């Protein structure tokens, strides 16, 4: 059973607008979360992380929000750029154990 879920397989956003990618998880023991970005024919690359002691982490145009009570995290990209078009994976781990990945959301930023 999928412990990390990304329920939107795809998302289209206009250039300059905000992109919001969502991720839900079922395991309340998860305490560390990552977002990866993946271009076609390449491996995923690390984007941003957040630990369960925080509810927000920012890095430039990218912000990750964590809502532990709802078991939900989201990635905000502001402003969105065409180069952000990629597949985004969220991943979660519990207490030093392996990461579990979501199924990915394909983001298209329209110029």
Interface with another protein (CB under 8 A): 2, 4, 6, 32, 34, 36, 41-46, 49, 89, 91, 93-104
Residues pairing with 46 in the sheet: 36
Using CA atoms in the order 68, 61, 46, 49, what is the torsion angle rounded to 10 degrees?
A: -20
Least separation, in Å, of the C-beta of 17 and another protein? 26
**CA–CA separation, 33 vs 48, rounded Å?**
9
Least separation, in Å, of the C-beta of 111 and another protein? 27
**CA–CA separation, 88 vs 104, rounded Å?**
5
**Which lies closer to another protein via its Cβ, residue 40 or residue 111?**
40
Least separation, in Å, of the C-beta of 40 and another protein? 10
Residue 64: its H or E element: strand 62-67
**Which lies closer to another protein via its Cβ, residue 69 or residue 98?**
98
**Which lies closer to another protein via its Cβ, residue 14 or residue 28?**
28
């Amino acid at each position: 059973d999928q412990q990390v879920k990304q329920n939107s397989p795809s998302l289209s956003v206009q250039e300059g607008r905000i992109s919001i990618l969502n991720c839900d998880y079922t395991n309340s023991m998860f305490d560390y979360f990552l977002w990866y970005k993946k271009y076609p024919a390449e491996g995923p690359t690390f984007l941003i992380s957040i630990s369960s002691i925080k509810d927000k982490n920012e890095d430039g145009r990218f912000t990750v929000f964590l809502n532990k009570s709802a078991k939900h995290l989201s990635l905000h990209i502001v402003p969105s750029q065409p180069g952000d078009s990629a597949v985004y994976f969220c991943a979660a781990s519990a207490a030093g154990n392996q990461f579990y990945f979501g199924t990915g959301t394909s983001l298209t930023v329209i110029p």
